[in-house]
Structure 1
Amino acid sequence: MNGVIDQFFNLEIMRQSLPILMKGLWMTAKLCATVVLLGLVGGLFVALATLSRHPLLRYPAIVFVDIFRAMPPLVLLIFLYSGLPFAGMRVSPFAAVALAFFLNNSSYYAEVYRAGILSVARGQWEAASSTGLSRTQALTYVILPQAVRNVLPDLLSNTVEVVKLTSLASVVSLGELLYSANMARSITYNASPLVLAALIYLVLLWPLVRLVSRFQRRLAA
């Protein structure tokens, strides 16, 4: 029992590793802010394209969503980071992760947005049009606020998954939280830094998980 505690819950090693993990946490925070923002904005434009009346916008958007929802994000990340150099295009680890997650997240966020827009009653479009609003104004001021409210739990749930998936960045040696914890483990020959990283993820994500549950209960009521 003492061996297990010393290997996984060594407080002294956790204390020594904490500065390294804090640097990784800062990189994780920057990465999350980037990929979530790109995914939310990109997903909205893709969703609008899938609902467009113009085939030249709608069909490519549908293909985009199908492809990148089906492709595992890890495969996409490795392809961008390790495959593009063979075509003479080198990207930094951060850029590779940001691009891979932008493509993957946009497809998922797009489906959430699309469901939200379709959940708004058709009469809302007609009511907005009757007040003199253009289609773009109706979408911006009437439809989208209602759509986002209807699917807010799904958007938050997707965001939690995105934050968890940023740990995949460690495979391209980006110094985020998991990568930093693994480096600390290799230096100390002890798994306590990995346990500490897991606790940090738990502290960060548990409030979001509870928030999602609260929104889901409110909507159900």
Structure 2
Amino acid sequence: MEYILEILPVLLKGLGISLKIYVTVIVLILPLAILVAIGKVSGPQILKKILHLYTWIWRGTPLLLQLFFVYYAFPYFGITLSPFACVILAFVLNIAAYEAEIIRAGIESIDKGQYEAAKALGMSYWQTMRRIIIPQTVRRVLPATCNEAILTFKDTALVATVTLGDLMRSAKELVFADYRITPFIVAFAFYLLISSILVQLFAKLEKKYSIYE
């Protein structure tokens, strides 16, 4: 117990970095995913092809490889980013690609008659999307989106592979320094605790908005 109290500040600092990454990624993902989804549904043909290429590449390759590419390969092209910015960029592009496909499917599931009704009321396309289609789509894709959000927090452990002192990296360094497995056990408990909290929060969110379906 004394050893746990000794390493706790280091692990809590790492947990703080993991949560900072998570919150930043979650905030940035949804706007990008919505724009990509709308572009794939109703954008010009050239835009649809570009967005299809984007989702194909980022969904078709591992997040860890993408993280390595942004972190190690970008400097070869003259692009220098901080470790935090590299992590955010890789995570946002990866997860937004998945979320965009979820939202696209949600948009396409809305009855076409609603578009026609909105047009008859004199609404523009963007007014229709903002007031009618997107609110319904968000409710329909909420379960899949919440699941993706929970997985995203667990995926933050991947940043331990680059020079960012997140929870996983902090635990690994303590294990290598002290030759004790305890830091991994404490990190395990932290990941389980935060994931459980997210599960409960998103379950309440789903229940709240399912009333309107």
Give unmatched runs, 5+ long, in structure 1.
1-10
**Superposed, which structure 2 residues align to 1:47-86 within 5 Å?**
47-86=37-76
Deviation at 1:108, TM superposition (A): 0.4
Q: Is the 8 A contact 1:39 1:105 kept in 2?
A: yes
Question: Of residues 139, 147, 152 in structure 2, which corresponds to 1:149?
Answer: 139
2:109 corresponds to 1:109:
no
2:163 aligned partner, one-letter code? S
2:200 corresponds to 1:206:
no
Q: Is the 8 A contact 1:13 1:193 kept in 2?
A: no
Question: Of residues 20, 33, 36 in structure 1, which corresponds to 2:26?
Answer: 36
Q: Provide TM-score, normalisation by structure 1.
A: 0.88
1:47 aligned partner, one-letter code? A
Deviation at 1:210, TM superposition (A): 4.6
1:18 aligned partner, one-letter code? L
Deviation at 1:205, TM superposition (A): 0.6
Q: Is the 8 A contact 1:13 1:188 kept in 2?
A: no
- SS of structure 2 residue aligned to 1:173: coil
1:87 aligned partner, one-letter code? F
Cα displacement string for residues 4-44 of structure 1 (whole angstroms, at most 9, x for unaligned residues):
xxxxxxx2222111101111111111100111222222111
- The alignment of Structure 1 onto Structure 2 pairs a total of residues equal to 209
Give unmatched runs, 5+ long, in structure 2.
none
2:126 corresponds to 1:125:
no
**Superposed, which structure 2 residues align to 1:9-48 within 5 Å?**
11-48=1-38
Q: Provide TM-score, normalisation by structure 2.
A: 0.91
**Percent sequence identity over aligned pairs:** 36
Cα displacement string for residues 147-182 of structure 1 (whole angstroms, at most 9, x for unaligned residues):
000010000001111111111111112111111111
1:8 aligned residue:
none
Cα displacement string for residues 91-145 of structure 1 (whole angstroms, at most 9, x for unaligned residues):
2111111111121111101011111111111122122222221110110011100
RMSD: 1.9
1:167 aligned partner, one-letter code? A
